Amino acid sequence: MTKLPYEGIRVVEFTHMVMGPTCGMVLADLGAEVIKVEPPGGDNTRRLLGSGAGFYPLFNRNKKSLVLDLQSPEGKEAVLKLIATADVVSENFKPETMKKLGLDHQSLKTLNPRLIHVSHKGFLPGPYDHRTALDEVVQMMGGLAYMTGRPGDPLRAGSSVNDIMGGLFGAIGVMAALSAREHTGLGCEVQSALFENNIFLVAQHMMQFAVTGQPAAPMPERISPWGIYDVFRVQGEEQIFLAVVSDTQWAIFCEAMAFADLQADERLHTNNGRVRSREWLIPQLRARLGEHSAADLAATFERHGLPFAPITRPHELLDDPHLLATGGLAPITLPDGERAGQTAQTVLLPLALDGERLGVRRSPPRLGEHSAELLAELGYSTADAARLSQTVQKPA
């Protein structure tokens, strides 16, 4: 691809954690120049441990880092000069924080009427918008944790699903606003929120109630729509997910596994019949399939075009042959921490344009890596740029 879709679009980003940075990463991967404005001590996400250790290097690739103290008059002046050159401002701070800095939508649209302002929040304006939201908070209050866990044991999903998808919807809103600006010449405010994103995720269960009158049961207790759609424990205590979701697949499955008696059983001739028979069918299948290895079952299911999946841990995907063969992973240089300067594999956006994946043009930036060039572009001398962009490395 000779030119990425959003080359020439400049995004100024005031974001941290996952939601806002995801929006910027999508736009950056698509070619936009995304400038991450960080305080002198840097984005606190750079220093997270545990399950947050991957946030900064994953969601900040293809961006530039500019350090400015927005509490100082000089830093505020510099950032307003930068915004005057921008197409998009992206932020996920509290509304009062942005308003106090004079960086809210109403203030900025006076400076730049073509500016698109995308705001990532916990809730869209309404009765809850004063609350502090986190992914886990909205999963609990939005029905997702109830659906994921066992009855009486709500469980958050195993990924920052609302933060990531909220950032995706923010990016979609920016794309729509850029398209509209082609006709109106004016920018607009885009709002994306964790809670509303979560409601979209559970909308299928809300609609299920509307259609059937029955509340949705948590996933571990749901009435499966398919006769076989389960994780099976097999030889060597390994596990494998196996599915048979059509009458044609049932016939293929029985023949492949030499289950002639099950194939002849009239109770099992239709999917609905198999669903009604799950109480006795699944224990019988567990006993029979348990005599096989996971590798043998996988080979049989793959050979016959039946759905199956190994139970994979996330880090094992770094060696996944499909991801490696299709270019789904790309190298970056880690910017922070004990492994700063080392190479790691990052996951690219799950799409291709004209058969090409959207790759890494820039590794996640070191703190203030692009301050000098960006401030020089705004007309600051070398000395003034150095003074404005002084960095303060906070301890990890």
How many Cα neighbours within 13 Å face the side chain of 386?
A: 3
Supply angle C-alpha 175, 179, 361, rounded to 5. 45
Count the neighbouring beta carbons within 10 Å of the beta carbon of residue 26: 23
Per-residue pLDDT tens digits for 98-135: 999 999 999 999 999 999 999 999 999 999 999 999 99
Supply angle C-alpha 60, 177, 113, rounded to 5. 100
pLDDT band at 389 (very low <50, low <70, confident <90, very high): confident
Q: What's the residue count for the chain?
A: 396
Asked if residues 345 and 318 have their Cβ atoms less than 8 Å apart, the reply is yes
Count the neighbouring beta carbons within 10 Å of the beta carbon of residue 75: 19
Instruction: Flag whether pLDDT at 396 surpasses 80.
Output: no
> 298, exposed or middle or buried, with CB in 10 Å at 0-12, 13-18, 19+?
middle
Residues 171-196, mean pLDDT to the nearest whole number:
98
Distance from C-alpha of 292 to C-alpha of 311, rounded to nearest angstrom: 16
Identify which of 189, 15, 32 has the alpha carbon closest to the alpha carbon of residue 113. Answer: 189
Distance from C-alpha of 256 to C-alpha of 244, rounded to nearest angstrom: 12
Per-residue pLDDT tens digits for 343-388: 999 999 999 999 999 999 999 999 999 999 999 999 999 999 999 9
Per-residue pLDDT tens digits for 271-324: 999 999 999 999 999 999 999 999 999 999 999 999 999 999 999 999 999 999
65: β partners: 36
Asked if residues 112 and 102 have their Cβ atoms less than 8 Å apart, the reply is no
Instruction: Flag whether pLDDT at 393 surpasses 70.
Output: no
Asked if residues 360 and 346 have their Cβ atoms less than 8 Å apart, the reply is yes
Query: What percent of the chain is predicted at pLDDT more than 90?
Result: 94
Identify which of 389, 317, 287 has the alpha carbon closest to the alpha carbon of residue 35. Answer: 389
Sketch out the chain's domains with CATH numbers: 10-201+320-388 (3.40.50.10540), 225-310 (3.30.1540.10)
H or E stretch at 139: helix 135-141
Cα distances from 148 to residues 152, 156, 333, 360, 389, in angstroms, run 11, 7, 35, 34, 46
Tokens of 118: 């995308």
Residues 13-17, mean pLDDT to the nearest whole number:
96
Asked if residues 365 and 60 have their Cβ atoms less than 8 Å apart, the reply is yes
